[in-house]
Amino acid sequence: MSLYSESQRRGLLVMVVLLFILLAIYLLAERMQPVELLQEQTEAVALQNFDPNVDSYETLRAKGVPTEVAVGMVRWRSYGKVYRIREDLALVSGMTDSLYGVLAPYISIADSMAPRADRVVSQRDSKPRREEPREKVFPKEKFLIDTASAQYLTRWGLSPRQADVVVRYRDAGRGIHSEEQLRACYVISDEVAERMLPYVIFTSEREAVWADEKPTTECELPAEQSVEINTADSATLVAIDGIGARSASEIIKYRTLLGGYYSVEQIRELKVITESNFEKILPKIWCDSFVISKIDINFARSLELERHPYISARALRRIVKQRQLKGGWTRIEEMIYDDILSEEEAERLAPYLRFRPSATE
């Protein structure tokens, strides 16, 4: 005797078929969901070529890059990440294999960012190849010894430790002002000194090199009873004949913005100081240019740079953009070559800058 009737067996069969159909629909929906999501992410805005090393978040979004991926790109860049090949973007937060396949044709990476293959060694070579010794190439360019970073000094044949010693020696002595001082640093051999000296610019010679004039002294030696303007308070300044309460206030305010005066001539930049008053107070003031505050150009925040009177809006934009791309500079001459600063701007700003190797070097 059968447990189920004919009609019951037909009902069970129909139920099993329906269950298989429902399961197939569910699995198909699961597979199609990422595709639908991908279409929502990429079809909202037509995709355009984008540079992951340069474009801002807003630009990436305008070019069709999904929100989470655009945020991931910018976040990685803020940590010093540089995208060398397209596949680097496959690791960005929010990037899936499907989404990368859609975006890959639109990824544009500058040739300057591409990795370099210095030497390719065949896997079949069982013996290491002997490289011919390379002739050392040293810079052939003028540079300010008082602003050069340790990383730049290594290009002249100093080891990293020796370069650090030179920087500490320079900062402890408030600058290197002559050939004798340069040679006095024990880590600089006669060979290195002879190599560097034709290209070294000492601080006292800066104006002569850039302005093609005779060397001038930026701060006169203090005369008796003269006032040092980088440390004087308002009461001390007002006591000078020719400086009133308003002038004293402006001198201190401008001193704060600059980080200190490196030349008494900078007082002339204040509107409240007339030419006749300047001539009157000049014999009674002097400045200690070694107490000024310096800006770490490779690490300073945009707000700190923006506050300085000698950094224009144009220069600020280029500093932030180029620093993000190349990681920073080792000396102020590089900022002239990169069209960040004009020679005039560099001359005014040089005493206020410090060059340390950036985190990406």
Q: Is the pLDDT of residue 256 over 90?
A: yes
Q: Which positions ≥6 away from 254 have C-beta within 8 Å?
A: 266, 269, 270, 309
Nearest Cα to 69, choosing from 102, 30, 46?
102
Q: Which helix (H) or strand (E) holds 41?
A: helix 6-43
The 3-state DSSP class for residue 297 equals coil
Q: Rounded to 5 degrees, what angle do the CA atoms 297, 298, 299 make?
A: 95
Average per-residue pLDDT in the chain? 79
Q: How many residues appear in the chain?
A: 361
C-alpha span between 1 and 54 (Å, rounded): 81
Q: Would you state the pLDDT for residue 204?
A: 61
Please give the single-letter amino acid code of residue 142. K
Q: For the chain, how big is the Rg over CA atoms in Å?
A: 33
Q: Is the pLDDT of residue 130 over 70?
A: no
Which of 40-54, 155-169, 207-221 is predicted least confidently? 207-221
Q: Structure tokens of 60?
A: 């990436």
Tell me the average pLDDT across 104-120. Answer: 71
Q: Would you state the pLDDT for residue 23?
A: 82
Residue with tokens 């500490």: 168
Q: Is the pLDDT of residue 347 over 60?
A: yes
Dihedral sign (CA 219, 251, 291, 141): negative
Q: Which residue has the higher pLDDT, 359 or 349?
A: 349
Q: Would you state the pLDDT for residue 259?
A: 92
C-alpha distances (whole Å) from 108 to each of 52, 64, 97, 195, 242 are 7, 14, 18, 42, 62
Q: Would you state the pLDDT for residue 121?
A: 40
Tell me the average pLDDT across 27-49. Answer: 60
Which of 133-137, 156-160, 234-238, 286-290 is predicted least confidently? 133-137
Q: Which residue has the higher pLDDT, 323 or 80?
A: 323
Q: Is the pLDDT of residue 346 over 90?
A: no
C-alpha span between 158 and 144 (Å, rounded): 17
Q: Would you state the pLDDT for residue 199?
A: 87
Q: Is the pLDDT of residue 131 over 90?
A: no
